[in-house]
Structure 1
Amino acid sequence: MTKRKTWTQKLLAAPRHLQHINGRLRNEMKELGRLSALLDIMEQGRLDTFFQPILQLGNGRTMGHEVLNRPPHSAQFPTTEHFYEFAGRTDQMFRFEHYCRRISLSRYMERLPDAESGTDRLVFINVHPGVLNDSRHKSGETLSLLQELNLSPERVVFELTERQAVQDYVGFEKVLSHYREQGFRIAVDDAGSGYNSLKTLVYLKPEFIKLDKFLIRRIHSNREQQELLELISGYAARSATRVIAEGIETEEELLYLQMAGIEFGQGYALGRPGFLPEPGAFPSDSPQVSAGGGCKYVSSDR
């Protein structure tokens, strides 16, 4: 009787077990499809490259460009975020990062207008922290590429994002020191979006802090965001770090950041990502404000 009951329970459980196996197989097939698509994008050079200007908020001059590599739209990767999230957790991350670094710098120099070739504008390229610290990384590879392109390392900024959090800050700081000795500079992306970004600022002492776009969105009408901006700006001033506000989309946001004395800015209001690394500009009817006036609080609209 006990054996019959046991077999009955197993038979009843069989459909759920098969359903579980079927679900795992579907997920594994999806992962294989995404991996195949990632490899195809690299092998066929199918990433599109765009350049978004970064402006000095005091005078409107373009100080540099961030390089943005975007995959083609597909069922495997409906958004750019899906694509980079997947690439970051595969065993192809090291190869993918090297591919991105090469096309970012090569396409920048290829598309740079002749009138801009003699400038000292900076090039911000996104870098996965784990790749810089990877044992497979060969010292001098990026320098060799820059020599081929006739691009000075002093013009290149490695942009680290909080989404790829650093684990060993002490060891990673030593790696960054090696790059700084070669002339490269460091930017921390997404600052103000979480605890890890604050640890990164303290330990890695970047040359640039890029403020997260969610901190900038409607900052002109949100006191809490303004207070956080003031704290980060004060820290940056004391540590000789320069601040870049990302995601500026309206004239109101731009005006507040100018009044708050933020040195640099990036966003649709200043220039959308384009095929060529061309200069950005203030909105045509934007009022001119002298930067450096300090933060001015306004009432929150929440």
Structure 2
Amino acid sequence: MDIPIQIKQQTCMDCLSGQPLGFEIKMAFQPIIDWQSQSIFAYEALVRGPTGQGAGWVFDRINDSNKYYFDQSCRVKAIETAARLGCDTLLSINFLPNAIYNPETCIRATIEAAELYRFDLEKIIFEVTEGEQILNQNKLKRIFESYARHGFRTAIDDFGAGFASLEWLHSLRPSILKLDMDLIRNIHQDSARQRRLVDIQRVCAELGVIILAEGIETVEERDFLVNAGVRYLQGYLFAKPALEQLLTKAQVQGWR
């Protein structure tokens, strides 16, 4: 995929302006809980429209002609907003692998943004949703390897919903595996889901991959996962995404 020269030369401030997209984007942040230490482990940055419209509103306006710029803009906006809000935890940023034509070239805006806004590069997690159509699995592997060389953590979101298998994890080796909410839903009542979780935990333990359970909505789901040894948790039980706000531990529910 050839990227026009003027797009290659975009700066962080260009990405913040939103002009090439035709609309401004903002970021909402959802906390990720470290149950063992009873603290906030990270915040996931989730794209929103200019007045807080949901991600669906935004993605309805993204197409092949602007997805590269959109992907870059989301990274810069997430870093800028998190730094402005005083984020001192890890920051998880979603990205579109099919919008990346060269990992080393496309990472420049992220590095530039981190330097400009004084955000520690080693606190950044790049997260790809398993539900996105992955046109080239080897390309995604190269992206993950490139990001790891720069000190970034990587994550697969919605595991179980799309391309990835337990065997594929051996090749991709993400830092974090986020379990799909369909696996989490009512897991305390479903032996098949429980067996699936055990299989995933076994492979992740072998590879040194952190497991994160997302989509938790009930105390029963939380308690089963905690008792099963899942340390990192995310979901509406704790907090919904907050527009341009980093919720403190005191504002997060579901600790007890």
TM-score range relative to shorter protein: 0.7 to 0.9
| CA deviation after TM superposition for structure 1 residue 175, in Å | 2.9
Seen in structure 2, the aligned counterparts of structure 1 residues 260 and 152 have a Cα distance that, compared at 3 Å, is: same
1:212 corresponds to 2:186: no
Equivalence for 2:35: 57
The counterpart of 1:197, out of the listed 139, 149, 164, is: 164
Could you tell me which runs of 5 or more consecutive residues in structure 1 were left unpaired when the two chains were aligned.
Answer: 1-38, 287-302
The answer for unaligned runs of 5 or more in structure 2 is 1-17
Q: Which residue type is aligned with residue 32 of structure 2?
A: I
1:197 counterpart SS class: coil
Structure 1 outlier segments of 4+, above 6 Å: none
Structure 1 length-normalised TM: 0.70
Q: For the residues of structure 1 that align with 2:103 and 2:121, how far apart are their CA atoms?
A: 22
Aligned alpha-carbon RMSD (Å): 2.6
Decide which of 244, 247, 250 is 1:278's aligned counterpart.
247
Aligned pairs (5 A) from 1:41-120: 42-45=21-24, 47-71=25-49, 80-81=55-56, 83-84=58-59, 87=62, 89-112=63-86, 119=88
Q: Does the 8 Å contact 1:157/1:186 carry over to 2?
A: yes
Deviation at 1:71, TM superposition (A): 2.6
Q: Larger % of helix: which?
A: 1
DSSP 3-state at the match of 2:254 = coil
Amino-acid identity (%): 26
**CA shift digits 1:37-96 (9 cap, x unpaired):** xx8794442x3321110011223211110001123689xx9x633642662x43211111
How far apart in 2 are the matches of 1:190 and 1:139?
23
Matched, 1:160 2:128: yes
Q: Structure 1's 48 and 143: CA in aligned 2 closer, same or farther, altered over 3 A?
A: closer
Cα 1:210–1:139 change in 2 (3 A) is closer
Higher Cα Rg, which structure: 1
Deviation at 1:100, TM superposition (A): 1.3
Aligned-pair CA distance for 1:203? 2.6
Structure 2 counterpart of 1:80, which letter? A
